[in-house]
Amino acid sequence: MSHLQEEQYQEIQELRQGLGHLREENSTLRTRSRRLEEDLARRDRQIQQLMDPTKVVL
């Protein structure tokens, strides 16, 4: 194997490893985003309930 081939092989290995890390980070961020969206929807429902004039608490 020539020196150039060895360098290219090493670069490919590093790129594959980086890709794995990026995929893992992407999955983590998608999960976080989904949870935040669910939390936002829950809070929006709570705000709507508090603003509902038919549910006045005395």
> Residues 57, 51: contact at Cβ < 8 Å?
no
10 Å Cβ neighbour count for 33? 10
Under-70 pLDDT residues of the chain: 56-58
